[in-house]
Chains A and B, each alone.
Chain A
């Protein structure tokens, strides 16, 4: 029996995985650059194989998709704004290891509340109406997030399922409301657009710049909140270990609920910004499912609100690139662009493995990256 085992076992394993402890920041970023390069290579090869488009045209298209014209740059910022806002909203919840998958729903009820306020008080002047819409959206988002938080805190329910289910309620509620409000004539004009006095003021020819400014301020405040305040410290401890939190005398229930109120409020704010400054209307498809994309944004940034500016830009960049490619050739449809986004994301998330681990190959082989 032993002889048999030996004949089978007499080779060293081809490769084994070893944890890396001390990768330098520079090395980390070099690995990420390599990953992007590899992703581009595979993307180019894949698109060429399917459509016959020259890979270099593809790379060109990726850049022009975002930077091609001033208008495109503006559009990139416009798309990035709500995505960053949702990412920042998720940051404190995720830091607390409360897996809030409900940013989409919290955003939608925020948008719903903002629209409701805009519709109900359409005669108020903009200076009063717009802040009122914002307030409504924040309250609605907070309410949508606080329900799963309360259930988690008191009955230890699963927050992932709970927040996910709340998304469906929000989506269908928005669909229902759009249907109902469509019938009313005034102000909403068949619910194609909200009334003028509910629209964000224009700066430099665009409405959304105010939204972008608000989101950047929120991101900065969130950074300070998480890094420097007592609340931020508490939520970090709760996220690390509830036992440690109790040992320190932190009221875990209170922190859970308070943090989720904040998280939901910012996601609700995103709904308001979208209605008032970007879309000027309400739709259940607003912001393209960014509530879920924001999860990736937050994770890639390791929940750091400033890094999220970079990660959300990256997500938008690749989205632009994909849609630009899809317009190049009859074979290149929007489904193809989804495949491309998938390939790129795969590489970007996959590289984290090589940042944390090292592959050791059989003797005389080289060390992996």
Chain B
């Protein structure tokens, strides 16, 4: 492979936050006409490193060379002046503006002076060149996630970026959308752009990139050509040791009906229909995976079972293992559900904003659902402290003390605290939303193990996931939601990723195979 011209060289870059070294002496080159994957576990410093290129942070040490010339990047504007553009994980678009308005935003302070025709022409030119599909007059609030991402990329190309950084671009996309994205990325590479993709998904690295740079604990430990890499090699480089990447899937033991949802219709906070007449069953000793693009209603589904959403119609019936008569959960809040003796554990998507109290320590967080225990007006101190201590030991939570505010812990440790508490309640139903989002491989596998343990104990597990590979490997059945409707319930042991992906976007080409529920 011919060596391409170097676009960026990072030399001895270091950055610390407080006492935490996010990057230590990183040396890295990014070349024109090449797709570089920046691979590393969460907290390995990938995003921090790229944020220094994008002008969000300023390095403590080291220098940055663009086209062999040393530069100082103090602000995003400096980055743009140097031809660097970054698409962040959270899009930075203005909802009420059109695509074109978002693109020229910041170019010219005066919105009235924009030559709309010229802008539209230039956008069209960019789209034709690389194969983007975008409507310049569409408002951002009418766009789906994939379209917003496309808009972000076109925006930075419009501003003349030659070096594009994409932070976890596929985290929000369906497999089909990801493929579409990879196609345009390859087109951009062929046009000579330098492209960096920040990711922790191995399959993606292997399929799209030309070269991989691996970060571990803030240091760049290796950089190899993708042709010489495979999943095993990359994982070992990322982790610094050998790991087993197989997710266990025990056979369900004696599954019985635990939760029956019938004709459930739910509105979200804005009053839009989030779930439309859905019916399914969750069995004990079984993991029911839920797949769907973001906003398809999976959040409302879990919240309505947990007693947190306004159910418009339908029923949610709970059947304890030893009773015949079901308990109706609709119309009850979490406290009333608890008082019925139903132990429902719920690991919500928003860990610090819903599942935990950030400013409180582990110990105080343990009592979030049990603070009313005891007859006096005072809260119990001893039991939560002991529980916090045992979770800290068993799940190896890294925290200075069980009184340290949990918001100061890293994402993986926060999730261990939350999952630990929910499992400690000895649930009959366990619901998790994006349980491993943002977690490193090690912690993710800890979480899978904990979930499987619950399954073996006969708990009915509902697992909302975004990584289809994980969903297919862990679940027994997969329920696919699209725009608030169930588009299929598949047997996870036999279905394919493509089938699920198609159902996620509402495709009707595939009939749900096998495990369709009777109403």
Contact = CB atoms under 8 A, between A and B. Distances in A.
A5 B81 contact: yes
A110 B78 CA distance: 59
Contact of A16 (B58, B70, B346): B58
A334 interface: no
B379 A241 contact: no
B71 A236 contact: no
A9 B81 contact: yes
B358 interface: yes
Given A9-B78, A18-B17, A249 B334 contact: yes
B357 A249 contact: no
Contacts of B71: 5-6, 9-10
B82 A241 contact: no
7 contacts: A5-B81, A6-B72, A20-B18, A230-B371, A236-B359, A240-B357, A247-B334
Contact of A11 (B72, B350, B360): B72
A229 B18 contact: no
Contacts of A4: 81
A19 interface: yes
B377 A230 contact: yes
A13 B308 contact: no
Interface of A: 1-2, 4-6, 9-13, 16, 18-22, 228-234, 236-237, 240-241, 243-244, 246-251, 360
Contacts of B359: 236, 240
A16 B72 CA distance: 14
A244 B368 contact: yes
A249 B333 contact: yes
Contacts of B308: 246-247
B371 A18 contact: no
A182 B354 CA distance: 56
Contacts of A22: 18-19
B509 interface: no
B82 A2 contact: yes
B69 interface: yes
Contacts of A228: 378-379, 381
Contacts of B367: 233
A8 B78 CA distance: 9
B231 interface: no
B407 to A, nearest CB: 9
B83 interface: yes
Output the residue of B58, B71, B334, B379 with the most chain A CB within 10 A: B379
A234 B360 CA distance: 12
Given A20-B18, A244-B356, A233 B379 contact: yes
Contacts of B357: 236-237, 240-241, 244
A244 B368 CA distance: 9
A289 B334 CA distance: 43
A230 B81 contact: no
Bin the interface of chain B by size: 35 or more
A144 B72 CA distance: 58
Nearest to B59: A12
Contacts of A21: 17-20, 408
B82 A5 contact: yes
B106 to A, nearest CB: 16
A273 to B, nearest CB: 26
| 7 closest residue pairs by CB, A with B | A249-B335, A5-B81, A249-B334, A21-B18, A243-B354, A9-B72, A240-B357
Majority secondary structure, B binding face: loop
Interface in B333-386: 333-338, 346, 348, 350, 353-360, 364, 367-369, 371-372, 377-379, 381
Given A9-B78, A247-B308, A249-B333, A236 B360 contact: yes
A3 B172 CA distance: 38
Contacts of B481: none
Interface string B199-211: 0000000000000
Nearest to A358: B18
Given A244-B356, A249-B338, A13 B74 contact: yes
B306 interface: yes
Contacts of B356: 244
Given A240-B357, A243-B354, A248 B83 contact: no
A85 B69 CA distance: 64
Contacts of B157: none
Nearest to A23: B18
Interface in B214-245: none
Contacts of A247: 306, 308, 334, 346, 348, 354-355, 368
Nearest to A21: B18
A93 to B, nearest CB: 17
B377 A231 contact: yes
B73 interface: yes
Contacts of B333: 246, 249, 251
Given A240-B360, A247-B334, A247-B346, A230 B353 contact: no
B334 A13 contact: no
A2 B68 CA distance: 13
A252 to B, nearest CB: 11
B334 A246 contact: yes
A233 B336 CA distance: 19
A232 B367 CA distance: 13
Given A228-B378, A230-B379, A247-B306, A237 B358 contact: no
A153 to B, nearest CB: 15
Which of A228, A246, A251 has the most CB atoms of chain B within a 10 A radius of its CB?
A246
B18 A13 contact: no
Interface in B51-101: 58, 60, 66, 69-74, 78, 81-83
Interface in B17-38: 17-20
Given A9-B78, A21-B19, A230-B377, A248 B369 contact: yes
Contacts of A1: 81
Given A2-B81, A21-B408, A229 B354 contact: no
B72 A12 contact: yes
Interface in B432-462: none
Contacts of A9: 71-74, 78, 81
B94 to A, nearest CB: 25
A230 B72 contact: no
Contacts of B358: 240-241
Nearest to A10: B72
A18 B346 CA distance: 36
A2 B161 CA distance: 12
Contacts of A229: 377-379
A286 to B, nearest CB: 34
Interface in B284-343: 306-308, 333-338
Contact of B355 (A10, A231, A244): A244
Contact of B83 (A2, A233, A244, A249): A2
A43 B344 CA distance: 61
B433 to A, nearest CB: 12
A231 to B, nearest CB: 7
Contacts of B381: 228
Interface in B500-517: none
Contact of A248 (B78, B82, B353, B368): B368
Contact of B372 (A2, A230, A360): A230
A282 B69 CA distance: 76
B424 to A, nearest CB: 15
Contacts of B82: 2, 5
A251 B332 CA distance: 12
Contacts of A250: 335
B109 to A, nearest CB: 18
B353 A244 contact: yes
A221 to B, nearest CB: 12
A243 B353 contact: yes
B369 to A, nearest CB: 6
A248 B338 CA distance: 10
Contacts of B379: 228-230, 232-233
Contacts of A246: 308, 333-334
